[in-house]
Structure 1
């Protein structure tokens, strides 16, 4: 969305049309454009409201029923924090007893919204003009929120009376429409160096991508990796009063409205490799990124299937929110020809392929196997004590 579309959208007519449109997936876009144009609406307005309808429908996965109350840009929605996770972020500021928070690089304003909902004053700063205007609309219901169109790195925190800062640096090129991903942390906006530098003077929270280079994590920060319904979505770094005493590594797993967390004072060392047991565990991505596989193994009484491969094995089933559990049914031949024969003998026509530590493309392999039959199965390709292995398994934690 550009400034011209925004000017059309920010009218009584534009906002009314956005709210009146049915869900985007139920629309015939060509017919809807024709109907809106026939009703006398200008082309710019039609484009703007249909874009919002499309983005609002996509936003449901992050904001649920609240999605229909907000406006979006494409780039802003891609980076926006899911509402339940934003609420957890806000809870840290409340627990720390801060008086006023600066959200530097606020994007659409969803984290600022969660903080303001706890009656904490917020000043939200956004460099992109269109995004700042959308944030101002989204935050208009909170009189104790100020939205500033400006540069986060030059904003005067002292003059604003701020005593804590939250940052979600833009990890894509500037703009509110189609953008490109930035790979170097120094190119983020605000830059990572600037964000970390603020932590010397006040409590600071920084949201980053889950694949952020662990070597760049400051030793004084609490690093928390978050997964939602099996998808690894972010890593948060928390400094000062926003960090929890004795916690430097955390894996937060959110699923179906509930959450569980694994924490430690540092990376946990991997446990010993052991013989394959009756059960195989696939740790959640947040546990893997936090390097807490060893801590999880201790809870499960499990060992590694092979060094440096994130599968655990045990003789007994221990339900856990931090891993998927599979019952090992058979160990099949690892060679492709023998594996194909074994699967055909078992009349397996539908196959889910999971792999770790093996250089193979599951989709290509599935095609080459030319499976036929009425049965379905799950195959795990990995290494067991260093050797290639193919395991026929079934879900054991459902």
Structure 2
């Protein structure tokens, strides 16, 4: 149970937030002069969490309450805003959030004008969620137990949202028997009468995904942050990717691409340009949506090539400057000849450690270069490339 949700707790937290280094011994000494050791420790711990949360929550972080685990699993604001806006657009006016954590997704729903009833199993986290969700209802209890009552009279305007915890004492897990709430319960919701959205980690094994749902790999800028499963009025069964950008918060719908039926991509040698598809596009199986003229270099590797530059949020485009044998002696000679001191090495499906290869190549000099190690039908190649600037915002 948290000590912070009292008048004294608020004062202690305000003092802790005023400390430049809330993790220091000096800060603890100062707070203990006017508060109990337990209160001082919790206030300073919360201040440290708020500082850490700035990377994910920005200016919103200092006004929210966190726990370590809940902060780690909490949805980024740009993603929760996208989800809330989509739910509202589909006619959802009430969300039942089963396992709300500190309430990041519920908060986005409230801000979008959608009512929220949230459930959280951990008592301290539930207290924090209640403080974060002014205007929403937070219940402390087990989602499996409370769900039947909360959904008993729910109509088509209600949607269940669930983000099952995927962590054990040993760390993250994809063993479904370790999920909280259990995976069988999650599947029962997806197969039930109510609209349902499930948030999972981006590395979810595809064999776990039910066929009748829309599975979307969602990215914020270059980071693939989740796979969400949708069974809602507007859901389209199949796989897709949604690319958002926290630099442009007004673009809450992002760029959408799906894996509609398609012909296999052709395989051909390296062209004038190399395309590195976004991770979300790769996971969604939508490589053929990157550019209609693109081809694969290898049927099993997600590098594409074209003979024209491509400006798209779905992939990074590189101009191929040189096509070299993948031979350490050849590459070392090239690096020495071109006086390359700053060397970026990228690769997929090539059994090499870029850090170890960089040591062998001994880069030294004023110039910089990017090497991409690729697998082709002719064998492994080392491409010297130049990253092209993109103007596309989707």
TM exceeding 0.5? yes
Aligned to 1:32: 27
Trace 1:1-398 onto structure 2 (pairs within 5 A). Answer: 3=1, 6-7=2-3, 9-22=4-17, 29-37=24-32, 39-139=33-133, 141-142=134-135, 145-159=136-150, 161-162=153-154, 163-173=158-168, 180-199=171-190, 200-243=192-235, 245=236, 248-255=238-245, 256-257=247-248, 258=251, 260-264=254-258, 266=260, 268=262, 270-298=264-292, 301-398=293-390
Shift in Å, 1:62:
2.1
Distance in 1 between residues matched to 2:113 and 2:349, nearest whole Å: 48
C-alpha contact 2:22 2:47 (8 A) present in aligned 1: no
Shift in Å, 1:296:
1.5
Distance in 2 between residues matched to 1:327 and 1:372, nearest whole Å: 23
Distance in 2 between residues matched to 1:62 and 1:135, nearest whole Å: 17
Distance in 1 between residues matched to 2:19 and 2:374, nearest whole Å: 42
Distance in 2 between residues matched to 1:353 and 1:270, nearest whole Å: 29
Which runs of no fewer than 5 residues in structure 1 stay unpaired?
A: none
Q: 3-state SS of the aligned residue for 1:153?
A: helix
Shift in Å, 1:386:
4.9
C-alpha contact 1:326 1:397 (8 A) present in aligned 2: no
Shift in Å, 1:21:
4.2
Aligned residues: 381
C-alpha contact 2:272 2:308 (8 A) present in aligned 1: yes
Distance in 2 between residues matched to 1:390 and 1:374, nearest whole Å: 21
Superposition RMSD in Å: 2.1
Distance in 1 between residues matched to 2:42 and 2:313, nearest whole Å: 42
Shift in Å, 1:24:
7.0
Distance in 2 between residues matched to 1:269 and 1:289, nearest whole Å: 17
Distance in 2 between residues matched to 1:253 and 1:24, nearest whole Å: 37
Q: Say if 1:136 and 1:179 are closer, same or farther in 2 by CA, change over 3 A.
A: farther
Q: 3-state SS of the aligned residue for 1:101?
A: strand
C-alpha contact 1:282 1:324 (8 A) present in aligned 2: yes
Which runs of no fewer than 5 residues in structure 2 stay unpaired?
A: none
Residues 229-277 of structure 1: per-residue CA shift (max 9 Å, x gap) = 211100110003151x4x6222111232246423335465541112211
Distance in 1 between residues matched to 2:346 and 2:356, nearest whole Å: 13
Normalised by the size of structure 1, how large is the TM-score? 0.89
Q: 3-state SS of the aligned residue for 1:136?
A: helix
Distance in 1 between residues matched to 2:83 and 2:263, nearest whole Å: 28
Residues 98-130 of structure 1: per-residue CA shift (max 9 Å, x gap) = 343210011111111111223322211111122
Q: Say if 1:358 and 1:315 are closer, same or farther in 2 by CA, change over 3 A.
A: same
Q: Which moved more, 1:150-159 or 1:279-288?
A: 150-159
C-alpha contact 1:108 1:131 (8 A) present in aligned 2: yes
Distance in 2 between residues matched to 1:23 and 1:338, nearest whole Å: 57
Shift in Å, 1:336:
1.3
Residues 168-200 of structure 1: per-residue CA shift (max 9 Å, x gap) = 111113xxxx87222212321112221121122
C-alpha contact 2:84 2:109 (8 A) present in aligned 1: yes
Normalised by the size of structure 2, how large is the TM-score? 0.90
Q: Say if 1:268 and 1:73 are closer, same or farther in 2 by CA, change over 3 A.
A: farther
Q: Say if 1:393 and 1:42 are closer, same or farther in 2 by CA, change over 3 A.
A: same
